[in-house]
Each structure stands twice: as C-alpha cells, then as structure tokens.
Amino acid sequence: MNYKFIKGGVTAPQGFTAQGVCASVKPSNKTKRDLALIYSDVLCNAAAVFTKNLVKSDTIAVTKKHLENGKAQAVIVNSGNANTCNADGYEKAEQMCKIAAEALNVSEQDVIVASTGVIGQVLPIEPVIKGVEEMKGRLSKEGGTNAAEAIMTTDTVKKEMAMEMTLDGKKVTIGGIAKGSGMIHINMGTMLSFVTTDAAVSGEMLREALLEAVEDSYNMVSVDGDTSTNDTLAILASGKAGNKEITEKNQDYRTFVEGLTAAFKALAKQLAADGEGATKLLVCSVSGAKTKKDAKGVAKSVICSSLLKAAMFGADANWGRVLCAIGYSGMNVDVKKVDVSFKSSKGVIDVCKNGAGIEFSEEKAKKILLEKEIEILVSLNDGNAQAQAYGCDLTYDYVKINGDYRT
C-alpha cells in the first residue's frame, strides 16, 4: 500500500481553497449551507464522468462543454434544486459559471458547474449571486468542510476524504468531497463528487486514471437502484506537488491509480453507509470468480437485492436471498460451488456451503448482523477473480423520506 489517509478534504492538496454558505437556493431553507465554491490558484488538468441516465441536468451539458479542452480552475455547486428538466436550465447553468468566474477572476470556460435537489423546479439565480458575493474573498483551506456540507441534500453526514502518497520522491495529496443518499445506483454510483490532487498528471493520463479508478469504486455502489439525473464526478490536478508529470502508463501512473481507487472507495463507502434511511453499510465481497466481470456482476446483483437489503435491516441471516441474487445475476457461476458467510465486528459465520444450507447458530448470526457494517462473503470457488460492491439496508425510513421528498 503506497498511500495513507489523513485528515482533510477537497482543500488538502496544494493550490486549492473552498467555501460553502447558506444562499437559500430553496426558499424554505434558511440555515443549511447550499452553495459551494472550489478554487485552484492555477489552471488545472481536469476530467469528469457523468450519469448514464438519458434525462440529464443542463449543468452536465455545460460542464462537458467546458471540459472539452481538459482544463478547469473552479467548481460551483448548489443543492436544493437539480436544475433538471427546466426550459432555462442551460442558461442558468452558464450564468452560474459566469457569476463564479467574475468573483474568482477566472475564465467562465474554466468553471465546472453542478446542481442537486428537486427535479423540474426553476432554479432561482438571485440566491446564487448573493451566495457567491458572500463567499468572495472568504475561500480558505478550512472552507472545504463547509463546501462538503453545502452539497448535501438528504445526506445526514458530510462526506470528505484526504490521503497522501509518494510519486517521484514527492509527497502527493488527493482530497475529495461527495454527496449522495438516495437515487444512487451503479453506472456512476454517486450523485456528486469533486476530487482534487496536486499531482502533476497530463490531461490524457488523468482521464485514463479516473476511468480506471471509478470502475472498482463508485460504479460498485447502489443504494436504491435509481440512477440520478445529475451524477457528476470531477477531478482537478494542480500539479503543485512537483513530481515529474505522469504522461504515460508507467509505475508512477499505477501508483496514482492505486491511490485514486482507494480514495474513491473511501468516499463510495461513505455514500453507501448514508443511504436514505439506512442503518447499516453492506459490503459484498466476492472471491473465486472465473473473471473480473463475473465477480463484479455477482457482487452488484447481491448488493442491489431489495429482499437481501430488507433481511439485513431485520438482522435475518436469510442466505437464500444471496443465492437467489447470484442466480439471476447473469454471470458465469456454478451455483453448486458457492459458499456464503456473514461477517461483522462481532465475528463471522458460515451459512451456505456448495450451494446448500448448513447448520449454524441463529443467535450468533443475529449478533453479527445487528452491527453497523456487514460484509457478505461470497466464494464462487471457480477461479481467482474478486470484487467488492457497496450498499445499505432497506428500511421503513427510506419510504418515508421519498414519500414527501418534493413537498
């Protein structure tokens, strides 16, 4: 392991500052921070990936356009309004970029924009103007945590991460924030996430690293099976660490991808654990698969099973639901070779061997499944490939939250 996690978030790398304020983007919000700015004091190489939903926020169209040259210097984000399915959505997204650019004295073409919240409601621009004016001159290293709060919607906790590694003998830092609690499903796996690094990485290699790292992290998350309209994961690299720029897939590139993947996984787990109404983080660890594709497909299928998620909420060791999910995964699996165990801080218990039930202590299983983090261990006993997927339990509160989300 060539990295270590440290305290901090999106402003941990050299060159980055941020801030978040309550701008009352949603008129009923009078206290929660809901507008964020992230700024680099130099122009960065940048890349992003987005939702695969055909219905997309206009912020995505604007950000894609601005990232055509692989450069960015700032990010502006609001919560409380998704700016999706609005006749003036594109215009409002461009306005947000212009407002941020003028305040930060950068080109509006170098601003990334994102929104999250209710779909189909017109985004008021006046709160954005007011909020940016309030943040002007107040961006700081300490402001990163305020930015993390500002992008939250139904999230119950802020999601931040920072880590250090060594590249070319230089200390390199990666930092990030994320938001997401509901409408999270594989095919991006998060609603919004902004990651920064001071590593020197070419634009082409940064995008390649992003695409590699997202596959085993954000793309392995599912809270509720709904792919959001606004999913955006963007990364900016300031190059201030002073390492020799990564321009090819050499050992430094592999080290960077390893750290970036771990960083993304750390944020992905935070997203899964804070799923709407969730009481438990679920991790499905699959081993012994014929191929990586099979391992990932099985892990995703298990973590997405509503029946399994409900069983985990009730601390019910219903391993048959794991087998059922494996069976409809569509992967190349010999179900008569499958072993299943449940694991937590209270221990591990085997519940299925060779695709059949075995005797086990229901009392011990209950104790294991009452913990806040549960690992579902699936051994396919048919190869060497492995994968992990991340999710949460399905609770009464999920329905309550989404029963009146708009009103």
Residue with tokens 């461009």: 94
Secondary-structure breakdown of the chain: helix, strand, coil percentages, each rounded to the nearest 5: 30, 30, 40
What is the CATH number that goes with domain 281-403? Answer: 3.10.20.340
Q: What is d(CA 389, CA 296) in angstroms, rounded to the nearest whole number?
A: 7
Q: Does residue 109 contact residue 142 with C-beta atoms inside 8 Å? A: no
Q: Which residues are catalytic?
A: 190
H-helix segments, 305-369: 306-313, 320-327, 362-369
Q: What is the pLDDT of residues 40-79, one digit of tens each?
A: 999 999 999 998 888 899 999 999 999 999 999 999 999 9
Q: What is the pLDDT of residues 127-173, one digit of tens each?
A: 999 999 999 999 999 999 999 999 998 888 899 999 999 999 999 99
Q: Does residue 65 contact residue 50 with C-beta atoms inside 8 Å? A: no
Q: Does residue 19 contact residue 138 with C-beta atoms inside 8 Å? A: yes
Name the most confidently modeled range: 169-183, 227-241, 340-354, 382-396. 340-354
Mean pLDDT (the chain) is 93
Domain boundaries, the chain: 3-273, 281-403
Tokens representing residue 358 in the block: 């075995």
> What residues have CB less than 8 Å from 174, skipping those under 6 apart?
12, 13, 161, 162, 163, 164, 165, 195, 196, 197, 199, 259, 260, 263
Q: What is d(CA 375, CA 369) in angstroms, rounded to the nearest whole number?
A: 9
What superfamily does domain 3-273 belong to in CATH?
L-amino peptidase D-ALA esterase/amidase (3.60.70.12)
> What residues have CB less than 8 Å from 403, skipping those under 6 apart?
none
Residue 281: how many CA atoms within 13 Å on its side-chain side?
A: 19
Percent with pLDDT over 90 in the chain: 82
Q: What is d(CA 350, CA 357) in angstroms, rounded to the nearest whole number?
A: 9
Average pLDDT of the segment spanning 374-403: 90
- pLDDT number for residue 226: 61
Average pLDDT of the segment spanning 233-239: 97
Predicted confidence (pLDDT) at residue 383 exceeds the cutoff of 90:
yes
- pLDDT number for residue 190: 43
